[in-house]
Amino acid sequence: MQFLEHIDLSYIQFTNNTDYWQANSFKQIFQNATTFFQLGGTEVNVYGGGMLGDNGQLWYDLYAKDIYTLRPILFGIIGLDGGSVSNLRLRYSPQWFVSLQYSHSNTVVNNGDDCVSFKPNATEILVQNMHCTGSHGISVGSLGQYVGEVDIVQNVLVDTMDMSNASDGARIEVWPDSSAALSGDLQGGGGSGRVKNIIYRNYEITNVDYAIEVTQCYGQDNITLCNEYPSNLTISDVNISNFKGTTSDEYDPVSGYVVCSSSEACSTIEVRNAHVVSPSGVADEFVCWNVDESLLHGIDSTALLWRRIVVEH
């Protein structure tokens, strides 16, 4: 349903026919993503206090038998201008909960994956005043997954976030040039492109594993191999400032992770005014590799231990 005008929807239900949806859902190309439906247009409002979803277990069981099952995203918003989505409960989605393209949104998110994820090709984006719980943070990527594809995420401002019980606060994920795999159905590497002019600022974090995570070795645990085949997708002009709060005990005493595959492919990552404290009381200790330490100003040097070590991550 696209190119609609002045439409109100209050109830949507999908059938449990998994064979039908694998054959007829809308293909989004990226990472085998599909959607049950695509909603867009002008002044389209979705509301009603009801619940969308609740049949995810069928898909989870199917995926457990075959990891190549195409599980649809619960809610596809494609080109929504001036509309709204409100007063809905999204539960047990087969895949991601929402795919938002050519649109904008402000919301409160309680989930188990990215709170917001900027996929190729996302530019000129503003995300602000969000509350995220239980998520993977506000993520750029993952990018550079497909050989021959050019992925661009550029000119993004993430401002005033409240992040709790999450794996990450701010995260940038780029695949290396070498082949890597997170799982049987999620593998890649070798794509090109750029991440440029990304601003994360004004974060309050509570019980977050990594306040800040930047990696060009996504899917590749062997950091040595990642360095031998640096990413073709560059990261530059990243500004991270005003992060305050507490990290979890997951990586205590480390509270951040910035690992580039080479200094040429990853530059001008700037951190200012960070004060994130681990459960052991150590503040602002990060694991870093191939970064310019001169741009890490605004951090208390007496509490700083930027360790140039290779770690399994």
Q: Bridge partners of 244?
A: 204, 275
Q: Bridge partners of 132?
A: 109, 163
Q: Bridge partners of 78?
A: 101
Whether the Cβ atoms of residue 82 and residue 104 lie closer than 8 Å to each other:
no
Residue 232 pLDDT greater than 90, yes or no: yes
The string of pLDDT tens digits covering residues 9-31 is 666 668 889 999 999 999 887 77
User: How many Cα atoms are found within 13 Å in the side-chain-facing hemisphere of 229?
Assistant: 18
pLDDT given at position 309: 44
pLDDT confidence of 105, banded at 50, 70, 90? low
The string of pLDDT tens digits covering residues 110-126 is 888 899 999 998 999 99
Residue 213 pLDDT greater than 80, yes or no: yes
Q: What average pLDDT does the structure give for the chain? A: 86
- Token pair recorded at residue 155: 């000119």
Portion of the chain with pLDDT greater than 70, in percent: 88
Domains, the chain, in order of start with CATH, read 1-105 (no CATH), 107-313 (2.160.20.10)
Taking residue 227's Cβ as centre, other Cβ atoms within 10 Å add up to: 20
- Token pair recorded at residue 200: 């994360």
252 is catalytic: no
Judged by DSSP in three states, 170 sits in: strand
- Token pair recorded at residue 64: 């457990």
**Terminal C-alpha separation, the chain:** 42
pLDDT given at position 133: 95
**Annotated catalytic residue: which of 136, 151, 168, 209?**
136
Burial (0-12, 13-18, 19+ Cβ within 10 Å), 230:
buried
**Annotated catalytic residue: which of 54, 113, 185, 237?**
113
The residues, any chain, with a CB within 8 Å of residue 173's CB and separated by 6 or more, are 139, 140, 141, 142, 143, 213, 215, 218
**Residue bearing tokens 């602002």:** 284
136 is catalytic: yes
pLDDT given at position 127: 93
- The lowest-confidence range among 143-147, 185-189, 227-231, 264-268 is 185-189
Residue 298 pLDDT greater than 80, yes or no: no
Whole-angstrom Cα distance, residue 201 to residue 126? Answer: 12
pLDDT confidence of 146, banded at 50, 70, 90? very high
User: Cα torsion at 119, 201, 256, 193 (round to 10°)?
Assistant: 30
Whole-angstrom Cα distance, residue 71 to residue 18? Answer: 8
Whole-angstrom Cα distance, residue 211 to residue 277? Answer: 10
- Token pair recorded at residue 57: 């277990």
The string of pLDDT tens digits covering residues 161-191 is 999 999 999 999 999 998 887 777 778 899 9
**Residue bearing tokens 């360095």:** 227
**Residue bearing tokens 């239900």:** 13
Residue 312 pLDDT greater than 60, yes or no: no
